[in-house]
Amino acid sequence: MSAATVRREGEALVFAGALERAAVAALWRQTQPLLKDLRRLDLSAVSEVDSAGLALLAELAARAPGVSVIGTPPGLTELRAAYRLDEGLGFSS
Residue 92 domain-assigned (yes or no): no
How far is the C-alpha of 33 from the C-alpha of 72, rounded, in Å?
A: 25
Residue 15 domain-assigned (yes or no): yes
- State the burial class of residue 91 (Cβ atoms within 10 Å of its Cβ: 0-12, 13-18, 19+): exposed
54, 87 contact by CB (below 8 A): no
| Predicted model pTM | 0.93
Count up the domains in the chain and report the number.
1
CATH code: domain of residue 61? 3.30.750.24
Residue 90 domain-assigned (yes or no): no
Q: Give the bridge partners for 7, in sequence order.
A: 14
Residue 88 domain-assigned (yes or no): no
Residue 91 domain-assigned (yes or no): no
Expressed as residue numbers, the domain containing 62 is: 5-82
Q: Give the bridge partners for 34, in sequence order.
A: none
| Tens digits of residue pLDDT in 2-58 | 689 999 999 999 999 999 999 999 999 999 999 999 999 999 999 999 999 999 999
- In single-letter form, the type of residue at position 3 comes to A
